[in-house]
Amino acid sequence: MPGLLVILAQLLDEHSEILQQSEFKALLLAEQIATVQQSDINETKELLTLLAHHPELKTIKPGECPAILTYAQALAPRIANIGIASPNGHVLCTVLNSANHIDISDRLYFQDANRTKRFSVGQFQHDRSINKATVNFAISVLNDDKQVLHTLVVAQSLTKWSYALAKLPLPAGSKVMISDKQHNIIAQYPFKPEQLGQPLKLSWPSSSHKAKVAEDQFGQNRIYLQLPLEPNKPHTSLQIHFSLPFEQAINAANQKVATTLSLFILAIVIIIWQAKWQLNHVLLKPLKSLQNAMSQFTNSEPVNWGKDQSSPEFLAITQQFEIMANTRLNAEQALTHKHAELIALLTALPDSYLRINQSGEILMSHGPYSQGAKVIQDIFPTHVFKRVLAQLALLEEQPYSQLEFSQLADDNIQHVYECRINHISEHQQAILIIRDISQRKQHEEAISLAALVYKNSSEGMVITDANGFILDTNPAFSEVTGFKREEVIGKTTNILSSGKHNRQFYSQMWQQISEQGRWQGEIINRRKNGELYTEWLTINSVYNAHNEAYRRVAIFTDITDRKRKDELIWHQAHFDQLTELANRIELKRHLKYQLEDKQANIGILLLDLDHFKDINDTLGHYFGDQLLTEVADRLVSLQSECSLISRIGGDEFVLVTTYNDCEQLSKTAEKVLQLLNPSISLGQELCHVSASIGIAHAPRDGDTSELLLKAADQAMYQAKQHGRNGFAFFSAHMREQAEHRMALLKDLRIALSQQQFILYYQPIVAMKDQSIVKAEALIRWRHPEKGIVSPALFIPLAEETQLIHGIGEFIFSTACDTLCALNQLGHHLQLSINVSPVQFTAKHSVLNDWHQQLTDKGLTTEQFVIEITEGLMMNALPRTQQRLTTLTKQGFALALDDFGTGYSSLAYLKQMDTDFIKIDKRFVDGIANNADDLALCEAMIMMAHQLGLKVIAEGIETATQHQLLLQAGCDFGQGFYYAKPMPKDELVKLLNTG
């Protein structure tokens, strides 16, 4: 063996020496090539140094490079371009003027050259002067004071550099790469243009002048070297990298070692074979027989030792060994039988068994708990381990002990274990019997929990036998029923019977219990004190092994209070709290039930109190509620004639009745009006109330509650329009009107959103010279299908639905724009706009914002006249009066429209500071033929003048009318005689023509 090791060591030395020689040759070649590259860089450095000291470079004209730079480029083939830059990085000139306005102040080599005033080497870049991949070199041109005048820059072509590498004497398969200080490739062999500027991908040696042998991507061994091209800057400048083939050298070394080693091994094999043949016949064959016999003995098998040994010594050993083996085998068979019996017993039981000594070492184990552990410390938690050790120390005094503990098992669930410790007599050992008692503990806990729930549950519980005899109750049972436990044990559950359920109820309940084993439902029982209560009862059966019911478990909850609350909630949801009449929900439910009978004639009377809002506004809501209560009490007297009387909201009531003919419904309506006729005392006031009643009947007017109520509502509005304090039947014409109204309302909303409105303007002239001094803005609706829609059709609907606010804002905004346009043309008119009473009475109105809008547009309030009606002027609402006052104080002029057709109160005219009155067209129409009409007009004009008001006459259509009104002293005129309403453009043309 020592000789073999010496030979192997010599072979390894020779192998290593061959590889070292190959590495040395590779390093020598690399250094030679690196020297060539260093020489090229030094030549570039010397060239730049010489040029930097040349006098022609001291003074440079932008765009004109000295001729010496052209000669220098011609001498150095790898130089792609030479240029000179100012100290701030602006390129003054290049030999190849391929680009202008180049700035290289961001280039690191330029910054380094100016900072150190030495030769500087750049890195991979795309040169901006020639737009090619280059590495640039730079040196500062200094003046006599050693200050930087210019920077001389040389761009070396990377393509030419790579072609120069290809001319080097490199072994086949070699790879050479030159990288900049960012480890990006700037030249390589073999040349691959697309890899220029890419980072190195191979792992090169961390130190220079050291070789690294590694496999390439094809599994071939190669030598990797890297050398600095600037020895003074080995880590910050250019590096040259070599990847040389090394597989051939390794193969040669391996071949030499393999040949020598093969010859040596062959000689050894021959020697060993000869020695083995000699030993086999003298020693090995007898020993083999002995080995077989011992193996049989070890496996407790009968020993079969061959008798062909020629040696007497081996024959004596055979005889003694056979005697010993037979004795041992007999003892083992007896022990094996006993052990098998013990294992069968242990396997049949669910326990784990451990035999341990006093130090806690496991001598033997059986069962899943031990898990092949060597000491009990590995299987027990620390606190359990300490307790077991303490018990082991007391084995002599306490041969038996027991403890319980919990532990996280393999299923990640906490298990509870019982551990019994038994002392083995005559040995300092013990038997540990470990049993998983988790299920037993769970059962015990479940029983304890069930008992706890049973005793502390808020639900009453009763346990009976199969026939209903009470066996046990819980405390909640006594709290609910008032019976003590001992008072009901042995008695049937009939003791709780209330008598509120008939025999059939109990018969069906017990039938379901017998068939399905359970029953649940609501039941009324009686407490011990005789009080009735409602409970929710659930009964379940418990079956024995023969599937026979032997126990009944009843659980009940007292729901008496909940029932009362549910009834209260239902009543509140279906009845009006003020009048105790049915509300809208109950009305719809009742009508739905009534309408299910298709043969029944159902009539409904919907009544709405007349002027109820006035009572609320004057007396207050408290007396308004008293009034509603009194009305409800009077209507209740008709309960015998009606199936339902309800208040569906506000001051609206509905009576539901059956009828034979319409005359019967009319009589009922008349009774309602008669009931409401007597006055009602509200505090110190006596109020008279009336109602408008709409009547609809099914199935003619509708077969659903919604249709009937809608029909009755439309009929009620018809009754109001006919003077109130009456009734009206629904008709098909009403439905058509309602549908027309809904269609018009829909179109009106669309018109607002799509701006279908337009303003027309009717001139108002001075009566003396008929010059245009004012104009009234009139709204027009250009419907896409119906054409021009009259304001008389849609303005009332707009006022009713509050859409008038949007229309009014459109009128004011458009009128402002028109005034701005007229002012720019030099026409200064006063515009009149009609303002709806709804705009004044609404809670939220933009009237107060008009003054600011005029200011924003450069207009004044004096350019506007607001036309209002007499009814609005007499409106008593403080909100209305406040808004009117505000507008007049802001400077808006007020005109009272349609004067003479209403109240014509002179007091209000004076109080509201009115500026104009407008005589209605109805008076103007007859002045030429009717002396009374003329007298009225003259009186109105005279009265207005005495109050300091101006007068505008509307509807003037003839010269006679004009002349008569002029003679009467009328100030302004408006009508077709002067001009019809016209769009803005036509008004402008009219004004331009004078």
Q: Where are the alpha helices (DSSP H) in 76-170?
A: 108-116, 158-166
User: pLDDT band for position 10 (50/70/90)?
Assistant: low
Structure confidence at residue 69 (pLDDT): 85
Same fold, 12-245 and 349-441: yes
CA distances from 436 to 348, 370, 518 (A): 15, 13, 37
Q: Which of 110-119, 264-273, 900-909, 984-993 shows the lowest per-residue confidence on average (mean pLDDT)?
A: 900-909
Which two tokens mark 648? 């569906």
- Spans of all domains in the chain: 12-245, 349-441, 457-564, 576-730, 743-992
Q: Tokens in use for 734?
A: 């009403």
Angle between helices 247-279 and 2-52 (to 10 degrees): 170
With 70 as the cut, is the pLDDT of residue 625 above it? yes
pLDDT of 6 reads 66
Domain spanning 349-441: CATH superfamily: PAS domain (3.30.450.20)
DSSP assignment, residue 637? T
pTM listed for this prediction: 0.42
What is the per-residue pLDDT across 559-605, written as a single tens digit (0 to 9) for each?
888 888 888 888 888 999 999 999 999 999 999 988 888 888 899 99
Amino acid occupying residue 596: E
Q: What is the mean pLDDT of residues 626-639?
A: 93
pLDDT at 524: 93
> Per-residue pLDDT for 233 more than 70?
no
Which pair of structure tokens corresponds to residue 80? Answer: 């792609």
Pairing of β 352-357 and β 362-366: antiparallel
Q: What is the pLDDT of residue 982?
A: 95
Range in 18-22, 268-272, 395-399 the model is least confident about: 18-22
Residue 613: what pLDDT? 84
Does the domain at residues 576-730 carry the CATH identifier 3.40.50.10420?
A: no
User: Residue 505's pLDDT is what?
Assistant: 92
Percent of the chain with pLDDT over 70: 87
The pLDDT of residue 34 is 78
State mean pLDDT over 642-671: 91
Output the pLDDT for position 777: 96
Indicate whether 536 pLDDT > 70: yes
**What is the average pLDDT value for the chain, to the nearest integer?**
84
CB 717 within 8 A of CB 694: yes
Residue 431, pLDDT score? 86
Decide if pLDDT at 767 tops 90. Answer: yes
Q: At 916, is the pLDDT very low, low, confident or very high (cuts 50, 70, 90)? A: very high
pLDDT at 770 over 90: yes
* 957 neighbors 991 (Cβ within 8 angstroms): no
Segment 527-531 shows an average pLDDT of 92
pLDDT surpassing 60 at residue 84: yes
- Kindly provide the b/e burial profile for residues 881-891, where b requires at least 16 CB atoms within 10 angstroms of the residue's own CB: bebbeebbebe
Residue 256: CA count within 13 A, CB half-sphere: 15
What pLDDT was estimated at residue 607?
95
Cβ–Cβ < 8 Å for 278, 271 = no
Q: Which fold has domain 743-992?
A: TIM Barrel (3.20.20)
Question: Could you write out the DSSP letters of every residue in 277-337?
Answer: HHHIIIIIHHHHHHHHHHHHHHTT------S----HHHHHHHHHHHHHHHHHHHHHHHHHH
Closest CA to 557 of 539, 534, 540: 534
pLDDT at residue 4 is higher than 70? no
Q: For residue 873, give both structure tokens.
A: 């002027």
CB of 304 closer than 8 Å to CB of 296: yes
**Could you tell me if 401 and 409 are in contact, meaning their C-beta atoms sit under 8 angstroms apart?**
no
pLDDT in tens, 772-789: 999 999 999 999 998 888
DSSP string, 119-137: -EE--SEEETTTTEEEEEE
Predicted confidence (pLDDT) per residue in 18-76, tens digit = 666 667 777 777 777 777 777 788 888 888 888 888 888 888 888 788 888 888 888 77
Arch. (CATH architecture) of 457-564 = 2-Layer Sandwich (3.30)
Buried b / exposed e across 956-991, counting CB within 10 Å, b at 16+? Answer: beeeebbebbeebebbbbbbebbbebbebeebbebb
Number of alpha carbons in the 13 Å side-chain half-sphere of residue 951: 24
Going by their DSSP bridges, the two strands 470-473 and 518-526 should be labelled as unpaired
Residues 6+ apart with CB under 8 A from 318: 293, 305, 307, 309
Task: Give residue 907's pLDDT.
Answer: 52
Top-confidence residue, 204 or 461: 461
Look at the block and give the residue holding tokens 């280039």. Answer: 107
Among 213-222, 672-681, 817-826, 985-994, the range scoring the smallest mean pLDDT is: 213-222
The contacts of residue 278 (CB under 8 Å, 6+ apart) are none
Mean pLDDT of 654-659: 92
Average pLDDT on 451-465 reads: 83
Mean pLDDT confidence for 913-919: 89
pLDDT at 11: 62
**Diameter of the chain measured on Cα atoms:** 178
Please, which pLDDT band fits residue 393 given cuts at 50, 70 and 90? confident
Predicted confidence at residue 15, as pLDDT, reads: 64
When comparing pLDDT for 723 and 394, which is higher?
Answer: 723
* 605, 694 contact by CB (below 8 A): yes
Name the residue with tokens 């380094």. Answer: 112
Query: CATH code for 12-245?
Result: 3.30.450.20
**366 band by pLDDT with thresholds 50, 70 and 90:** confident
